[in-house]
Structure 1
Amino acid sequence: MSQAQSSNSNIPDTDFNLLEDSEDADNHTSEATATRLSLQFQLDETYIGQRIDQIAAMVWSDFSREKLKQWIKEGNLLVNGQPVKPKFKSDGFEILTLNVELEAQTRSLPEDIPLDIIYEDEDIIVINKPVGMVVHPGAGNTSGTLVNALLHHYPKSSELARAGLVHRIDKDTSGLLVVAKNLEAQFALSKQLEKKSVYRLYDLVVYGNIIAGGTIDEPIKRHPVDRVKMAVLPGGKDAVTHYNVKERFQHFTRVQARLETGRTHQIRVHFSYIGYGLVGDQVYMPRVRMPAGASQLLDDTLRGFKRQALHAVQLGLKHPRTKEEMTFEAPWPEDFANLVEVLRTENKAY
């Protein structure tokens, strides 16, 4: 199991410049518990004249506006220690205080599923997710998910939205993701993701020869016809992927990609868009492209690799409580390591 490292250890400063203080997160204070929520937020002049229910929706965006309005009416959300009506307008610099008991936020059931935990403390869990595990329950995947496993490992996660998840990776992508264990940590990590200050590095293998690294800055939205797919299309959400070539083979390239944004299928869509689809991607590269003269070993390996060759190898973040910059690493899973080794022996560059 990999160990947490100082962010200064082996990642160049130029690659690790996204870790910044999250001012909104730093303004929050709370007890370190998931069941009893106690938050404070100091307003400033930017909120002058705005209604308190609108302000609360901006400050605590993980909750619905209706839920926050209910808490205001019930006296659970106070302004300078006093109850107010939802239409109360701010004159700036008030202190908002939110004190509530959280109800269960998920109906999913706990399941005793082993987790590869890279790091855990009272605030966060960093997990190396295996290939084939769905992160969150959905249609056709009501059990066996990461959420089911988390509910067994840490039962209080049931009182957090999405069981503490702040980001996801695809079912057939392996590697690292971080989960919050209390609401303060969930807020802080969500703010880091919004500010693009979470460092996410992926290893991948693509068809074709990429000459040099670069940046793909293309918007992504749902495919208009095939609703399973995402696509680069005008009007989509901003999506930015930075990448470097790590290893060249005769007909393939091993690449490292860093996400600046986190759109659905982002890496898979971006590399398919520039003409370098991922090996094994059943959605964006449904047909195996076999090189002419491929050996039986290479043929068997490529045809047997049934998932996208994508692994979340490194994760960097600022700890929500201590503010320490932390990075975590996860070794390649066996199938990915075997794919690379076969390419090194059976498809080596001239």
Structure 2
Amino acid sequence: MFTFTLPGGEQPAQLSKLLRRLNFSLTLRRKLKRTPDAIRVNGRPVPWQTAVTPGDVITISWPDESTIAPLSLPLAISYEDEHLLVVDKPAGLLVHPASGTPEPTLANAIVHHLRTLGEPGAFHPVHRLDRNTSGLILIAKNPYVQHLLSSENAKPIERSYLALVTGHPLPPAGVIDAPVGRLPGSIIERTVCPDGKTAATIYETVTTAGPHSVVRLRLLTGRTHQIRVHLAHLGHPILGDDLYGGSTALIARPALHAAALAFSHPIGGERISLSSALPPDMAQLLDKLHSPPTGGD
């Protein structure tokens, strides 16, 4: 449910025009128009062309159209309010159900969590993480907030990652600007290619550990597998990422973690900045790489 009061000083407006002014998407406006009693003004259902005036309280109820089954799974919630939440996802957990994969996903857990709060159990991710990438993921609690956060006019969301990579990037910091597209013949693998979509990643070497490095990365675009493809293209694949040339001798999954997230709240406007510590497998591997070798005489 979403409730707001038309501020004083605003001009009276038809409800339909007010929602358009508030950046409700065309798809969402059409869905609300088709749903009986989805919108109430001062507690009463009203026709779509009702005129609203300053001081009127508009309440919107979201139709629950989710087909995702609720499942009780552990959730590490880093931030939550009535409009959105940020979850620290573990590696190995799919974000969304996929065809032919009945295993539990983050979406199932989120639907269960919302229903325990008495809210519509629908899943509205603002961005996604690969199954084996750990870290922070932003999820809206309704389609309006999802649209505000992900539309072309939305303020940028800053997403920062940490990766353990092979070798020492030279220069130690820079921008990888290389288009990313689907690898011919594969439905999963991506590659740098001239006809790919524009993709840019800022990188910075944080520290080195023997023949490996810890690299901080910030996305300027959000292509599938972008960081993994860009680091492999640079000649420094992520440890554990065998799809893109990384060795699995030290870790069994890509050593990539969504470590920081910063964004402007789509309703209140305040700046929210969150961080997540390295998960145990990456932290233990980093300690091992920093430890001096031991041996006999």
TM-score by length of 1: 0.67
Distance 2:74 2:31 in 1: 40
The answer for the alignment partner of 1:210 in structure 2 is 169
Kindly indicate whether the alpha-carbon contact (under 8 Å) linking 2:3 and 2:60 is maintained by their aligned counterparts in 1: no
2:204 pairs, out of 222, 244, 253, with: 244
Question: Which of residues 60, 64, 68 is equivalent to 2:25?
Answer: 60
Deviates more, 1:150-159 or 1:261-270: 150-159
**Residues 268, 196 of structure 1: CA spacing in aligned structure 2 closer, same or farther, 3 A cutoff?**
farther
- Counterparts of residues 6-155 of structure 1 (less than 5 Å): 31=3, 40-42=19-21, 60=25, 63=27, 68=30, 71=33, 81=50, 102-155=62-115
Q: 2:132 maps to which residue?
A: 172
The verdict on how the C-alpha distance between 1:188 and 1:196 changes in structure 2, with shifts beyond 3 A counting, is closer
Deviation at 1:257, TM superposition (A): 0.1
Mapped to 2, the partners of 1:194 and 1:128 lie a distance apart of 26
Aligned to 1:317: 263
Which structure's residues are more often helix, by fraction? 1
Compared CA separation, residues 153 and 159, structure 1 to 2 (3 A): closer
- Deviating more after overlay: 100-109 vs 129-138: 100-109
Partner of 1:200: 159
Query: Offset of 1:280 from its aligned partner?
Result: 0.1
Question: Aligned partners of 1:246, 1:196: CA distance in 2, in Å?
Answer: 27
Deviation at 1:139, TM superposition (A): 1.8
Q: CA deviation at 1:183?
A: 3.0
Q: 1:164 to 1:157 in 2, by over 3 A?
A: farther
User: Aligned equivalents of 1:110 and 1:346: distance in 2?
Assistant: 47
Residues in 1 aligned to 2:119 and 2:229: alpha-carbon distance in whole angstroms? 32
The size of the alignment, in residue pairs, is 265
Query: What is the CA-CA distance between 1:71 and the residue it aligns to?
Result: 4.2
Which of residues 283, 307, 327 is equivalent to 2:273? 327
Percent of pairs with identical residues:
34
Shift of 1:168: 0.4
Deviations for 1:173-208, whole angstroms, at most 9, x for unmatched residues? 0000111112332122113x7656101000001111
Amino acid at match of 1:309: A
Q: Equivalent residue for 1:226?
A: 186
Tell me, in whole angstroms, the C-alpha distance in 2 between the residues paired with 1:326 and 1:196: 12
CA drift at 1:136:
0.4
User: Structure 1, residues 35-55: CA drift from partner, whole Å, max 9, x if none?
Assistant: xx9971239xxxxxxxxxxxx
Is the contact between residue 149 and residue 155 of structure 2 (CA under 8 Å) also seen in structure 1? no
Instruction: Provide the residue aligned with 1:5 in structure 2.
Output: none
Contact between 1:117 and 1:127, CA under 8 Å: does it hold in 2? yes
Q: Is 1:303 paired with 2:249?
A: yes
Residues 141 and 151 (structure 1 numbering): CA distance in 2 closer, same or farther, change over 3 Å? same
Equivalent residues of 1:313, 1:331 under 8 A apart = yes
Name the residue aligned to 1:50.
Answer: none
Aligned 8 A contact 1:151 1:157 in 2: no
Q: Which amino acid aligns with 2:167?
A: G
Q: Which sections of structure 2, spanning at least 5 residues, go unmatched? A: 5-14, 40-46, 52-57
**Can you give the 5+ residue segments of structure 1 that lack an aligned partner in the other structure?**
1-29, 44-57, 83-97, 289-301
1:104 offset after TM fit, Å? 3.0
Residue identity opposite 1:116 in structure 2: A
**Structure in which a larger fraction of residues adopt strand:** 2
Deviation at 1:252, TM superposition (A): 1.1
Q: How big is each residue's C-alpha offset from its partner over 1:119-157, in whole Å with a ceiling of 9 and x where there is no partner? A: 111111111000100000012333310000011111266
Instruction: Work out which structure has the larger RCO, using CA pairs closer than 8 Å and 6 or more positions apart in sequence.
Output: 1
TM-score normalised by L of structure 2: 0.78
1:120 alignment partner AA: E
| Matching residue of 1:343 | 289
Q: Is contact 1:196–1:260 with CA below 8 Å preserved after alignment?
A: no
Cα separation, 1, equivalents of 2:250 and 2:210: 20
Distance 1:178 1:70, change over 3 A: closer
Instruction: Report which stretch shifted further, 216-225 or 338-347.
Output: 338-347
2:243 is paired with a residue of what secondary structure? coil
User: Using the alignment, how far apart are the partners of 1:262 and 1:194 within structure 2?
Assistant: 16
Q: Does the CA contact (< 8 Å) of 2:76 and 2:88 recur in 1?
A: yes
